[in-house]
Copies of this chain bind each other. A is one copy, B any other.
Amino acid sequence: MSTPHTPSSSSPRPRAWEKLDTRHSAHMILFRPRWDRLRHPRSGEEFERLVLETPDWVNVVALTTDKKLVCVHQYRFGTSSVTLEIPGGVLDKGEHHAEAAKRELQEETGYTSARWTYLGAVEPNPAFHDNLCHHWLAEDCKLTHAQGLDPGEDIEIEAVDLADVHLRIARGEMRHSLVISALSRVLDLRPR
C-alpha cells in the first residue's frame, strides 16, 4: 500500500490540454466524429482523443392538468428495446432549445402547454460529447393535436400517475439517464 496523499493539496486544478491537431471522420448522422491530438499538461505526452460533435438536445417533463407525467414508448436502436421515456429530441439547426422543447412535445405526443419553466442543462457525457441537454418543465399540458411523427418514428403515449414514477424507475422500466436527470429537478427520486 502506498502512502496516502492529501486531497485538494498543493497541486493546482487540472489544466486544459494543448490541442496539437484535429481532424474529422465521416459524418454519422447523429454526430460528427473528430479526432484531436492533445498534449498532457503535466507529462507533456501526446494523446489522441475522440470527440463526437453533437447538436444540443432537449427533453420535457410534461405534466397534465390532472398531475400525470406524459411519457413515450418507442423502440430504441441502441438497446434494441422499447423504452419508457419523457418526450425529447435534437435541436434543429438554428433553433432555440425553448422552441425545440415545445416542438418535440407536440410532435411526439400531441400535448401542448402555456406554462413553461426552464430547468437547466446537463452535459450528456463530457468525456466525448460536446453538447448540452436542456431540461424543460411544461405544466397544465392538454392534448390538443395529433402526433406529428417522422417516417422513422413509432411512438405510443402513456400518461403516468406522478405517484407511480418512482415505481417505474425502481422497476427499471424508466432508465434513460437524461430522463432521470430531468425528473430529478421536479421529483425526489430517492427510493422509498
Contact = CB atoms under 8 A, between A and B. Distances in A.
Given A125-B178, A128-B30, A190-B187, A14 B82 contact: yes
B190 A188 contact: yes
Main secondary structure of the interface of A (DSSP, over half): loop
B7 A75 contact: no
A49 interface: yes
Given A8-B158, A77-B49, A1 B125 contact: no
A74 interface: yes
28 contacts: A1-B144, A1-B145, A5-B147, A7-B157, A7-B159, A8-B156, A13-B82, A28-B33, A38-B77, A41-B154, A49-B77, A78-B128, A78-B129, A79-B126, A80-B130, A121-B172, A122-B175, A122-B176, A123-B177, A124-B125, A125-B176, A125-B178, A133-B177, A177-B177, A177-B181, A180-B180, A180-B184, A184-B184
